[in-house]
Structure 1
Amino acid sequence: MAIFISPFLLGVLLIIFTLRKKAKGLLKQFLLLTGSSLVGFFVFVLLHNLIYGLFIYLFGQDFWERTGIGDEPFFFILAVIVCPISLLVGLIGTLVLLIKKKREEKKPTKEASLGS
């Protein structure tokens, strides 16, 4: 259970800190994407299981076999495919922006080099 709670809490904290820090531009978008994908994974796994169980409870044990689907697909796809991809996009985007910012800080400006 802790394996699900930890990323969820980290995602919530990342969203809260990003909004409080008043981050701007692409960095804010990438941080929010990363946090929301962590939170979304947990939420979509729960929704998948709740919908699956609710439909079995309401329509009978063989409901999913009768529909030909076999399982609830929408929230499953969101949890297993969309959230991990958005997590990777958010992490890579954040890292690229941070590396770019570090390089710009290290690079001497033309005005400073001309004045010396």
Structure 2
Amino acid sequence: MKRNRKTTLIWITRSCVLLTVAFLIGISDNPLGLLLCYVAATALILAFVYPWRRVKKFLILAGASLIGFPIFVILHNLFYGLGEIARGIIVLEHVLGFLHAAFFIVAVMVCPPGFLIGAVGSVVMYFKDRRKCRSC
């Protein structure tokens, strides 16, 4: 159990370092900065899924990411529109602005790496399980 916790902390640290470097070099119209953000999101997801050894878990991650993308895009647009309507109501405007930005980041920066990890992990675990069953 201690080894898993240590590995998780290492992946989280990698993610934080990559995200810090991305912000230091800039992410506005900078392909390298955006790539580092995607790699940081991937490292953060890997921090929690690296001990998985079941195809089903990776398929659930891939499916949730695939379904989550359009849902988070719709929520982003919904909260953006509500924020425009609520312009002038200070607290509500800021809350809706935060929500539309958060849903945008999840849709664009978290769902694609989540789908990629889920798809690759399910294929790898499928062939690993298949090879293990042949030796039975």
SS at match of 2:54: helix
Alignment match of 1:75 (pick from 81, 88, 103): 103
Alignment match of 2:116 (pick from 69, 79, 88): 88
Alignment match of 1:44 (pick from 72, 75, 81): 72
Number of paired residues?
78
Alignment match of 1:35 (pick from 57, 63, 81): 63
SS at match of 2:70: helix
Q: Which has the larger radius of gyration?
A: 1
- How far apart are the structure 2 equivalents of 1:106 and 1:27? 17
Report Cα offsets for 1:9-44 as digits up to 9, x if no partner: xxxxxxxxxxxxxxxx62221111111101110110
C-alpha deviation, 1:79, in angstroms: 0.4
| Residue identity matched to 1:58 | A
* TM-score, scaled to structure 2: 0.50
- How far apart are the structure 1 equivalents of 2:132 and 2:61? 24
Q: Which residue of 2 aligns with 1:54?
A: 82
**RMSD, aligned CA:** 2.5
- How far apart are the structure 2 equivalents of 1:40 and 1:26? 21
Q: How does 1:20-31 map to 2 (within 5 A)?
A: 26-31=54-59
- How far apart are the structure 1 equivalents of 2:54 and 2:86? 45
C-alpha deviation, 1:102, in angstroms: 2.2
* TM-score, scaled to structure 1: 0.58
